[in-house]
Amino acid sequence: MSKFNIKEYYSTKRKRDVVTGAAIALFGILIVFQLYITILFPLQLRHQKLLITEMEKDEMYEQIDRIRDLIHSTRGKDYAQTGEIRLVEGVMDQFALHVREHGREMTPEQVGNLRNVLSRYELIVMTWREKKTDNFHIRQNELDAAPYAKTVESGILNSH
């Protein structure tokens, strides 16, 4: 048996050419991409989620202001309608006060719940403003914000 050099037998002698350079470059790009996916991408998603949450809160603030402006310029034909308008105005003032005090502590779920309640109020006020109905008397379940208030209150108490 002659001396056998394994390295010479199994290795290939490659020259530096375009194919070798491209393979090394693609391998480097693959490593960088994997690092991006595992480290930077989750950080960007978390940051984007925070931005979306802040945008939702800003839209909630704008919605409250819009509804309050609509209510302030709405007039009723009689005392019952005026009283109902003032009742909704008082509720919206309470929502605005609550949001000013606790807006930063609100979770995305609480913001979504409040926006749903506000959308119902906005629909009611828009119906009044467009004079689609002479009957201003809204049903209690349309005006009821107690479930939302309990959710917010429990969320705030649990956060402290």
Which pair of tokens denotes residue 88?
């909704």
pLDDT confidence bin for 66, thresholds 50/70/90 = very high
Q: 141: domain range? A: 49-159
pLDDT tens-digit series, residues 76-115: 777 878 888 888 888 888 888 888 888 888 888 888 888 8
Choose the weakest-confidence range: 22-31, 40-49, 52-61, 86-95.
40-49
pLDDT tens-digit series, residues 9-37: 777 766 778 888 898 999 999 999 998 88
Is 26 contained in some domain? no
Domain count across the chain: 1
What string of H, E and C letters represents the secondary structure of the chain?
CCCCCHHHHHCCCCCCCHHHHHHHHHHHHHHHHHHHHHHHHHHHHHHHHHHHHHHHHHHHHHHHHHHHHHHHCCCCCCHHHHHHHHHHHHHHHHHHHHHHHHHHHCCHHHHHHHHHHHHHHHHHHHHHHCCCCCCCCCCHHHHCCHHHHHHHHHHHHHHC
Is 24 contained in some domain? no
Is 123 contained in some domain? yes
pLDDT at residue 1 greater than cutoff 50? no
Is 150 contained in some domain? yes
